[in-house]
Chains A and B, each alone.
Chain A
Amino acid sequence: MEFCGGHTFAILKNGIRDLLPSNLELVSGPGCPVCVTAISDLDKAIFLSHLPQTITTTFGDMVRVPGSHGSLASARVEGADVRIVYSTMDALDIAQENPQSQVIFVGIGFETTAPTIAASIVEAQRREIDNYHVLPLGKLCPPVMGALLKMGETKIDGIIGPGHVSTIIGSRPYEFIPREYGVPFVISGFEPLDILLAVEMLVEQIEEEDPKVEIAYRRGVKPEGNARAQQLMEEVFEVSNANWRGIGEIPRSGLSIREKFSHFDALKAYDIEPGLSREPKGCICGEILRGIKNPQDCRLFRRACTPENPVGPCMVSSEGSCAAYYRYGGEDG
């Protein structure tokens, strides 16, 4: 299983599946921050965007994901002020420039984005900006891998580990995977050769029956990760349970804002009542995220669900499996 959507894209774009022997299958995993955001959490963001005098900021992909009733993009059409930012600091600047408005950052992402969200909160404190709130939806990668292996729905013989996430957390947090589940784990970069190297290292581990954590992306990842980024995350966030789309609640797999910074927490500042959430009918994003189905298995794929008219998040995100298969998968994919 390649954990990251970025890997799925690189694999399909470079035709890597065609280079591998037929007894080696690559399955996409849940490594797409937009895709794993629970629909109930997305509904909260859409609810907040409709409040008066509110500017909702988020990363690009998130805007187009359909919630239970419309998306952030459709909220914008209806008059909500929804803005795409490239960095959390842009969201903070918007707050500073619009003191009469409340600015909310929809804080999705893994360990890659969590330090930048933490940095925006620390900076908001320093600059005494009090109209900036974060909807904390950050998630952690190692716990979801553990959860998938524990569920045992898919037979995974090895994991291509996340490249960018591991630049932050290093390789050590994954050591429970070979130890407890006997599954080889190799961290890979996003170039086609990185991925081929990772596959080769995984095959070697399987053949030698010696599962361990290895790094095929030495130019980016150190075993100990990035201490400064980890420190920032630790300062602002605490580990909590989180709701994953298609998987459900996983203990200690999310990030909440610590009490010390709770005045920046949108969950505390607002009464959020988006109503009942419901998953789109016929969409199998959840099973795709768990690695038990492929996009081609979905009845909606390429028919009712396309990048222009997405039903589920996996067709929206530039890290989503369905979007990758749609764009690069060819006729059968």
Chain B
Amino acid sequence: MPPTTAMAEKMDNRITLAHGSGGSLTHKLIRETFLPLLSNPLLGRLDDGAVFGVDKGRLAFTTDSYVVNPLFFPGGDIGRLAVCGTVNDLSMCGARPLYLSLSLIIEEGFSQPDLQRIISSVREAALEADVEVITGDTKVVGRGSADGLFITTSGIGIVPEGIEVSGTNAKAGDKVILSGTLGDHGMTILIQREGLGFEGPIESDCAPLNQMVSSMLEASHDIHCLRDPTRGGLATTLNEIALQSEVGILIQEDATPLNPSVSALCELLGFDPLYVANEGKLVAMVKASDSDRVLEAMKENKYGKRATIIGEVTGEHPGRVVIRTRMGTSRIVDMLTGDLLPRIC
């Protein structure tokens, strides 16, 4: 029996293996979905790679893969995440992000309108971050071989002269500045993925931080470290820096900002927000005399409104992160070990 018109239309709305074959459907997908949304002269040439010149300075280069489930979540989707994550990784090297590559692995049967939505998010996030997607690739794999859609983005940026930002550069006496609340992304994904039905105003903080970083670097050349505390949370990031720089870090528990809903949900499930993932936050180690200036610069950016000094780098207990609790006691904050699992009782 021939397919009905409705069935044919439904099939038309799905990605098939042929979309990844390199043939006419692949070209149709590129012309009708990718180019209109991501158009720029370098991408538009459709060569095997993009050729471009760069200004003076050193190059920064990074890559990351995105496999989030669910693909759409309050505050963003996998497209926005794939742009922001790579833009932020470049920014944390002190680089000004310029260009991205976008590589998609799509599961057969994936909805075309959803793909369109995700590429629109890529476009919006790229516009916001002022970066261009200049090369890309699409593969389609059989049903069951991928979980809907995986994205890999790589990025290139330029580190301006005189900027020296690295996880090895934290110095005793530096102030530790956090750009805002902890745990929003991780708890949003958890609620969505597990269908927890928690009706609090929680959304992912997924955001490009490059413009905030630019203002910070204009305010001070003595920003020694920048990191975005993604998986493993702030606790893991601070431990990495303490080890890399061979310094101690002391933070104040009551100084770390939290959204009340995130705080309540963490308490309910027995999670520690210090270990929950963020996608639009950064932590900076800044020379103490410049810290107020940097803080002001951060607060002027919409993603740094709740920026605050949460502690300092010390010469004591090198390689260790210590937190001063609300009770006035101290304890060591370790890296994330094992998985975050909810308590039962």
Instruction: Give chain A's interface residues, CB within 8 Å of chain B.
Output: 4-6, 9, 12-16, 18-19, 31-34, 59-61, 64, 84, 86, 90, 108-110, 112-113, 162, 164-165, 190, 192, 306-308, 310, 316-319, 323, 326-328, 330-331
Q: Say yes or no for B342: interface residue by CB 8 A criterion.
A: yes
A sample of 12 more A-B contacts (CB under 8 A), given A34-B344, A316-B338, A319-B345, is A13-B331, A18-B329, A19-B327, A59-B344, A60-B341, A109-B344, A113-B344, A162-B345, A306-B337, A318-B342, A323-B338, A328-B331
Task: Determine whether the beta carbon of A113 is less than 8 Å from that of B331.
Answer: no
Main DSSP-derived SS at the A contact region: mixed
Q: List 28 A-B contacts (CB under 8 A).
A: A6-B343, A9-B270, A14-B327, A14-B329, A15-B331, A18-B330, A19-B327, A19-B328, A19-B329, A31-B345, A59-B342, A59-B344, A61-B343, A64-B341, A86-B194, A90-B195, A108-B344, A113-B344, A192-B325, A192-B327, A307-B337, A317-B343, A317-B344, A319-B270, A319-B343, A319-B344, A326-B334, A331-B332
Q: Which chain B residues border A110 with CB–CB below 8 Å?
A: 345
CB distance from B317 to the nearest CB of A (A): 10
Q: Which residue on B lies nearest to A12, using beta carbons? A: B331
Could you tell me the dominant secondary structure of chain B's interface residues? loop
Q: Are A61 and B345 also in contact (CB < 8 A) when A13-B325, A16-B329, A192-B326 are?
A: no
Set of chain A residues within 8 Å of B270, measured between Cβ atoms: 6, 9, 318-319
Task: Tell me the minimal C-beta distance from A300 to chain B in angstroms.
Answer: 15
**How many angstroms from the CA of A310 to the CA of B337 in the assembled complex?**
11
Q: How far is the CA of A164 from the CA of B196 in the complex (A)?
A: 20
B272 within 8 A of A: yes
Query: By the criterion CB–CB under 8 Å, are A86 and B196 in contact?
Result: yes
Interface size, chain B (Cβ < 8 Å): 23
Q: Give the distance to chain B from A196, nearest Cβ to Cβ, in Å.
A: 8
Contacts of A90 in B (CB 8 A): 195
Collect the chain B residues with CB atoms within 8 Å of residue A319's CB: 270, 343-345
Residue ID in chain A nearest B332 by CB atoms:
A330
For A19, what are the chain B residues with a Cβ–Cβ distance below 8 Å?
327-329
- Provide the bound-state CA to CA distance between A112 and B325, in Å: 29
What residues of B have a CB within 8 angstroms of the CB of A108 in the complex?
A: 344
